[in-house]
Amino acid sequence: MGKASAASPRRHPPAAGRTPRSPVPPTRPDITGQTALYGVLGDPVSHSLSPVFWNAGFRALGLDAVYVPFHVPAGRLAEALAGLGALGVRGVNVTLPHKEAAARLCTTLEPPADDLQAVNTIRLGPDGALHGANTDGPAMYRLLTSLWHPVGKGAPLPLAERGYRAALRGGEGGTLPTSSRSVGKGIPAVPPGPVLLLGAGGAARAVLWSLFQAGATVIYWANRTAHRLVCPWSAERTQVRPVPWESQALNEVMVESTLIINATSLGWRAEDRLPVLTAAPGPGQTWLDLVYHPASPLQQAARAAGARVIDGLDLLLGQGAAAFTLLTGHPAPLAAMRRALRRHLAGRSRA
Amino acid sequence: MGKASAASPRRHPPAAGRTPRSPVPPTRPDITGQTALYGVLGDPVSHSLSPVFWNAGFRALGLDAVYVPFHVPAGRLAEALAGLGALGVRGVNVTLPHKEAAARLCTTLEPPADDLQAVNTIRLGPDGALHGANTDGPAMYRLLTSLWHPVGKGAPLPLAERGYRAALRGGEGGTLPTSSRSVGKGIPAVPPGPVLLLGAGGAARAVLWSLFQAGATVIYWANRTAHRLVCPWSAERTQVRPVPWESQALNEVMVESTLIINATSLGWRAEDRLPVLTAAPGPGQTWLDLVYHPASPLQQAARAAGARVIDGLDLLLGQGAAAFTLLTGHPAPLAAMRRALRRHLAGRSRA
């Protein structure tokens, strides 16, 4: 403890631009009166993994900062956001069910939060201003382009270059984690064929936006309640085709799709099934799942049938890394953050 | 990390009544989405030592909780307090300059916060109610009675027994730290002679209240600005005698007093002097100082002249231990908290 103090952990704000890795070893400095404060707002928030990998990031960089969970009931978001500024909190992430309401309460919205009308990151200005951003969309966009374009070839930007690109420089070396892991050596890039998107909630909306950004050609879109299938975006090269939530229609488009994206919450529980899909995707197809529960029965079925499965862990890290950079000004130490996350999940499944 | 999760740190709220010491070793469990949140509100808050010994207390008990600093500007206290409830914070301490304003904003005031019209501890109700308490007064009261009455003899309560006594059961074994350390074997109790109190701010007010509670007979009271010497309490056996802030008068009452209490902020800086006091207290006298800077020139002068010196560290721990119990329901692990504090201060003075 005395040692940590004597080692003088870095203070915020950091110097402008890229900062070299700290020589401070990854110890856990004490929280003192000077420790900078970050957190995540949600209801529930108890399931959030963000505190685990954010604090691992602070430790790896030797930053004198801490990231805590704020349990905010739906009706009290405005009070909570006003309180954050008064309490000296530097910045927060926002998770369910607050992402859309937070976008309405922010002072400014940085692209693509305006396009998405959803915010997962808020930077508190010294004047109490709330600067909203969205790193969910860019993280998904990055994952999609890494699937569709081999590493190093570069991905064309089908829509106008936007400010959110800054948020993409979240990771070490300027890349998000998905590019290196999802398209490794010997793994072919997924051809940009038809995509089947399941779900129409806030997460599915960010996926849909990313599919437009990444230049998808055909998007089949299905949801249990069909009236939610309203797409606010349009582009010449991209067709969105609503699909009824019934067995024959869904199975037909599933077989045709090279990429199936599960943006529903199905898969968190061992008993979760998708009875409308009678077959699982097979070889040559990719099952991209926003759920990161390793025992998801949907992911297990896809894997067993020979499909490539990508779970939500890299997306979680991707949005987190971009938010880390946005709020702290430091490149996110991704390796340390991923390590902490995997260790935590392994410990939890043992418990 | 995985280990900490697997070890299942205790969750709040604790079982009713005294809880046995946890068998969990004093590791630092990860902050997760389930970690309970506490903190301290102040401006400045960077000097606060509360995060250091509160978090040491959580670790010693294996509680899944964290205590963070909230920097709250004077004009934004109401927003900050409203935000705390909305953000799911369980409870906070309040420090300068907010103690009096917080008392006005609380939903309920537990004695003696009502008497003192100052709050240093707020428990957040599930309904967002703010329950204000004051553990500064009781901690000082406890210290005074430990000085005036040998351990084990018990101290008579000159005023009606009050609810604040519950807060006094903050320490291990039901006692605050001051009783064991300040009146050790072979150290005679201070006879309840005249007391000289220096200062008239919020801290001095809590001291004055405690002197009434502990049955002081004569209180000499001096402050640089005399118009602040207004005492809201009265008791038959206690006389408060204002003393002019000038050399002859102050030196006369100082010589006569068995206990001199410095409740000014003098002593924090190496150049701090009290030129109106030409002599230091000597043998048979006690210099009780709310400052806990080990290099305070006032304390050094008193020590050199042969007086017994008690610094503010035990008071800091005493109010903290009582608040810890009030907010968490657990007896405060004082030894671990004091150890962390001393180690931190030693590290800071080396840095």
> Which is more confident, A207 or B214?
A207
Instruction: Using an 8 Å CB-CB cutoff, list chain B residues near A126.
Output: none
Same domain, B13 and B129: yes
Say if residue A169 is in the same domain as residue A263: yes
Task: Kindly state the average pLDDT of the residues A157-186.
Answer: 35
Q: Which residue has the higher pLDDT, A290 or A9?
A: A290
Instruction: For chain B, give the mean pLDDT.
Output: 81
Do A161 and A273 share a domain, yes or no?
A: yes
Contact criterion met (CB < 8 Å) for A87 and B84? yes
pLDDT for res B297: 86
What's the pLDDT score for residue B188? 35
- Active-site positions of A read 99
Q: Which residue has the tokens 């309640």?
A: A225
**Which of A32, A70, A72, A343 to substitute to test the interface with B, most B CBs within 10 Å?**
A32
Q: What is the pLDDT of residue B169?
A: 42
**Band of residue A349 on the pLDDT scale cut at 50, 70, 90:** low
Q: pLDDT-based confidence at A10, cuts 50/70/90?
A: low
pLDDT over 50 (residue B19)? no
The question of whether B185 is a catalytic residue gets the answer no
- Across the interface, do A83 and B88 touch by the CB < 8 Å criterion? no
Say yes or no to pLDDT of A185 above 80.
no
Cβ of B87 within 8 Å of Cβ of A41? The answer is: yes
Task: Return the higher-pLDDT residue of B73 and B20.
Answer: B73
For CA atoms B3, B8, B13, B16, give the dihedral sign. negative
B91 and B142 inside one domain = no
The pLDDT assigned to A280 comes to: 82
pLDDT band at A331 (very low <50, low <70, confident <90, very high): very high
CATH number for the domain that contains residue B125 = 3.40.50.10860
Separation in Å, CA of B68 to nearest CA in chain A: 7
Can you tell me the distance from the alpha carbon of B192 to that of B173, in angstroms, rounded to the nearest whole number? 26
Amino acid identity, position A281: P
User: pLDDT tier at A228 (50, 70, 90 boundaries)?
Assistant: very high
Contacts B55 to A, Cβ<8 Å:
30-31
Side-chain half-sphere CA neighbours of A103 within 13 A: 19
Q: What is the pLDDT averaged over residues A195-206?
A: 92
Contacts A–B by Cβ distance under 8 A: 183
Q: Hey, are the CB atoms on B88 and A77 less than 8 Å from each other?
A: no
- Residue partners of B270: CB distance under 8 A and separation at least 6: B295, B297
Nearest CA in chain B to A340: B1
| pLDDT band at residue A200 under the 50/70/90 scheme | very high
pLDDT in tens, B264-283: 888 777 777 777 777 788 89
Q: Which amino acid is at A190?
A: V
The mean pLDDT of B331-340, rounded to a whole number, is 95
Specify the number of domains making up chain B.
Answer: 2
In the predicted model, what is the mean pLDDT of residues B80-102?
A: 96
Which range (A188-192, A231-235, B304-308) has the least confidence? A188-192
- The verdict on residue A229 lying in a domain is yes
Q: Are residues B226 and B151 in the same domain?
A: yes
As a whole number of angstroms, the distance between CA B340 and CA B316 comes to 13
pLDDT at A33: 95
Are A115 and A250 within one domain? no
Q: In the predicted model, is pLDDT for residue B99 greater than 50?
A: yes
Q: Are residues A157 and A302 in the same domain?
A: yes
Mean pLDDT of B123-150: 88
Of A2-6, A214-218, B333-337, the poorest mean pLDDT is in: A2-6
Over residues A182-193, the mean pLDDT reads 43
Determine the structural domain holding residue A245 and report its residue range: 138-314
Rounded mean pLDDT, A225-239: 92
Are A323 and A223 part of one and the same domain? no
Best residue of B8, B32, B350 to probe chain A, by most A CBs closer than 10 Å: B32
ipTM of model over 0.90: no
The pLDDT of residue B107: 97
Determine, for residues A68 and B31 on separate chains, whether the beta-carbon distance falls below 8 Å: yes
Amino acid identity, residue A234?
S
pLDDT at A168: 45
Q: Does B20 share its domain with B107?
A: yes
Neighbours of B104 (CB within 10 A): 12
Would you place residue B18 in the very low, low, confident or very high pLDDT band (cuts 50, 70, 90)? very low
* Residue whose C-alpha is closest to residue A312's, from A258, A254, A263: A263
* Contact between chains at A8 and B79 (C-beta distance less than 8 A): no
In this model, does residue A302 exceed pLDDT 50?
yes
pLDDT (0 to 100) of residue B143? 87
Reported as a single tens digit per residue, the pLDDT across A46-82 is 989 999 999 999 999 999 999 999 999 989 999 999 9
Question: Hey, of B3, B5, B105, which one would you mutate to test binding to chain A, going by the most A CBs within 10 A of its CB?
Answer: B5
Does some domain include residue A20? no
Tell me what the mean pLDDT of segment A309-327 comes to. Answer: 93
Q: What is the DSSP string of A235-292?
A: BTTBEEEE--SSHHHHHHHHHH-SEEEE-SSTTSSTT---TT--S---TT-EEEES--
Alpha carbon separation from B264 to B207, B225, B226, B303, B304 (Å, rounded) = 11, 12, 14, 18, 21
Q: How confident is the model at residue A177 (pLDDT cuts 50, 70, 90)?
A: very low
**What is the per-residue DSSP string for A136-170?**
HHHHHHHHHHHHHS-TTS----SS---TTHHHHTT
Report percent pLDDT > 90 for chain A: 58
Q: Do B31 and A49 touch (CB under 8 A)?
A: no
In this structure, the answer to whether residues B124 and B148 fall within a common structural domain is no
The mean pLDDT of B128-151, rounded to a whole number, is 85
Residue in A closest to B126 by C-alpha: A73
* Average pLDDT for B161-186: 35
What are the start-end ranges of the H helices in chain A?
2-6, 50-61, 77-86, 99-105, 113-116, 136-148, 165-168, 177-182, 202-213, 247-256, 297-304, 313-328, 334-350
Task: Check whether residue A83 and residue A96 sit in a common domain.
Answer: yes
How far off is chain B from A274, nearest CA to CA, in Å? 29
Q: Quick check: B350 pLDDT over 70?
A: no
Q: Is the pLDDT of residue B346 over 50?
A: yes
CA atoms of A152 and A163, how far apart (whole Å): 22
pLDDT of residue A172: 35
Q: Is the pLDDT confidence value at B307 over 90?
A: yes
Q: Is the dihedral of CA A17, A21, A22, A23 positive or negative?
A: negative
Q: How far, in Å, CA of B279 to CA of B277, rounded?
A: 6
Better-predicted residue by pLDDT, A256 or B266: A256
Shared-domain flag, residues B150 and B288: yes
List all residues 6 or more positions away from A286 whose beta carbon is below 8 Å from its beta carbon. A147, A190, A258, A259, A260, A307, A308, A309, A310
Token pair of A144 as six digits = 């999609």
Min Cα separation B85/chain A (Å): 8
Residue B214: give its domain's CATH number.
3.40.50.720
Q: What is the DSSP string of B33-88?
A: TT-EEEEEEESS-TT--HHHHHHHHHHHHTBSEEEEEEE--GGGHHHHHHHHHHTT
